[in-house]
Amino acid sequence: MTTIAIVYHSGFGRTAAQAEAVLRGIQSVPDVTAHLIRVEDVEAHWATLDAADAIVFGSPTYMGSVSGPFKSFMDASSRRWLQQAWKDKIAAGFTNSGSLSGDKLNTLVQLAIFAAQHGMVWVGQAELPGGRADDAINRIGSMLGAAAQSDQGSSRPSDGDLATAEKFGARVAYAAQRWKRGAI
Ligand SMILES: Cc1cc2nc3c(=O)[nH]c(=O)nc-3n(C[C@H](O)[C@H](O)[C@H](O)COP(=O)(O)O)c2cc1C
């Protein structure tokens, strides 16, 4: 059994909807167990993260970067860094923001560097951009990780962004399985 943890922050529920879509994608892959962890609850879940084969990081983009609560989680994880507790785990990341760009790329770069700090192995987003319609896959055109955009009056990202997140979750799950199977 391959185990994957998603650890995420969401101030207003929209990145939470994206995280749940990533979870659905992971759960669509046989023989994979997934855990959805809010950063607010992480103190009770460090052991779950330590035991996971893969960790998916998710944060809204606030002021062109990860949110404050997610950054606090990153800083708190430095105890894991010291022990290299997450070295060689699969890592991936997603973000959601109000604008189409909104400087989301910077958030994904932050997440990828964070994973590299931990010696993790980053898996990107592999769906080609399918156009600009609301139901289009990867309409944001993001390859480093899964990206979503939520309108101010909406409680969640577009259908296409959620479908993209689902495909992304499945990709991470298959990658984690292959990585685990090949471990020596
Ligand atoms: C403090 C703050 C900063 C924000 N900064 C950005 C930003 O830099 N770029 C952007 O496109 N949207 C920005 N937004 C909008 C949020 O990214 C957007 O509302 C998102 O859907 C919130 O996700 P959440 O519901 O998971 O918190 C900001 C929102 C807040 C509250």
User: In this structure, what CATH number is given to the domain that contains residue 171?
Assistant: 3.40.50.360
Residue labelled with tokens 């167990």 = 33
For residues 23 and 106, what is the distance between their CA atoms, to the nearest angstrom? 23
The closest-lying atom of ligand 1 relative to the alpha carbon of residue 10 is: 26
Question: What is the DSSP pairing of strand 32-38 with strand 146-149?
Answer: unpaired
Q: What is the mean pLDDT of residues 44-59?
A: 98
> What number does the ligand 1 atom closest to the CA of 148 have?
21
What range does the domain containing 108 cover?
A: 2-181
| Helix or strand run (H / E) with residue 115 | helix 104-117
How confident is the model over 38-67, as a mean pLDDT?
A: 98
Residue 114 near residue 144, CB atoms below 8 Å: no
Q: What is the mean pLDDT of residues 84-101?
A: 98
Nearest CA-CA partner of 19 in 148, 128, 153, 182? 148
Residue 131 pLDDT: 96
Which of 61, 150, 158 has most ligand 1 atoms within 8 Å of CB, for mutation?
Answer: 61
Number of domains in the chain: 1
Looking at residue 183, what is its pLDDT?
87
pTM for the full predicted model? 0.98
pLDDT (0 to 100) of residue 184:
77
* pLDDT, averaged across the chain: 98
